[in-house]
Structure 1
Amino acid sequence: MIETGSLNIVDTDRIIEMAWEDRTSFDAIRLQFGVTEQQVIKLMRKEMKASSFKLWRQRVQGRITKHQKLGESSFRFKCSLQKQISGNKISKRK
């Protein structure tokens, strides 16, 4: 688990982007960046306007696709063509 304050701007932007995506679970974010769901929420609250944060929270709260234990048994990332992500490096498409 890493502190959200130690993330660089590129990682922060990617975490926010992944958090907004409907099909990317918090577990996928944790797998790629080592940031827990609570840390993602804290980061979103810090980086977003209050009204945008409230909309986001309403949208993801209880959403099956955002919580791995409620949804699918395998990790799903943004695109079906995107291969398994490890070490924060996206494999290129063959």
Structure 2
Amino acid sequence: MNLPNLEPEAIDRIVEMAWEDRTPFEAIALQFGLQEPQVIELMRQQMQASSFKMWRKRVSGRKTKHLKQRDFDNGRFRSQNQKGS
């Protein structure tokens, strides 16, 4: 899979956002242009195997990681570092 050249700071922020339970993959796509499979590949590259497996197990099927599956839309904190409306 082709990943764009990213600055170390951007990689750190993507990993941080992907690790957060309530930051959806769509927010990462909006801010950095990476789709969910690219984020997964980046996480695989940046994390130890055991940490990656734990992360995948935790986010697989998690409603809060996908905007379309969320039960809520408004009233949640949005980081100032996160782009979008």
In the superposition, the TM-score normalised over structure 2's length comes to 0.83
In the superposition, the TM-score normalised over structure 1's length comes to 0.76
Per the alignment, residue 37 of structure 1 pairs with 36
Distance 2:74 2:48 in 1: 29
Using a 3 Å threshold, how does the CA distance of structure 1 residues 61 and 74 change in structure 2: closer, same or farther? same
- What are the within-5 Å matches in structure 2 for residues 1-94 of structure 1? 3-72=2-71, 74=73, 80=77, 82-83=79-80, 85=83
- Unaligned residue ranges in structure 1 (runs of 5+): 87-94
Instruction: Figure out how many residues of one structure are paired with residues of the other and give that number.
Output: 82
Using a 3 Å threshold, how does the CA distance of structure 1 residues 61 and 75 change in structure 2: closer, same or farther? farther
Task: Give the aligned CA root-mean-square deviation in angstroms.
Answer: 2.4
Higher share of residues assigned helix = 2
Contact 2:27/2:83 (8 A) holds in 1: no
Aligned residues with identical type, % of pairs: 52
The 3-state SS of whatever aligns with 1:44 is: helix
Using a 3 Å threshold, how does the CA distance of structure 1 residues 5 and 75 change in structure 2: closer, same or farther? farther
In the TM superposition, residue 82 of structure 1 has moved relative to its aligned partner by 3.3
Displaced runs of 4 or more, over 4 A: 72-76
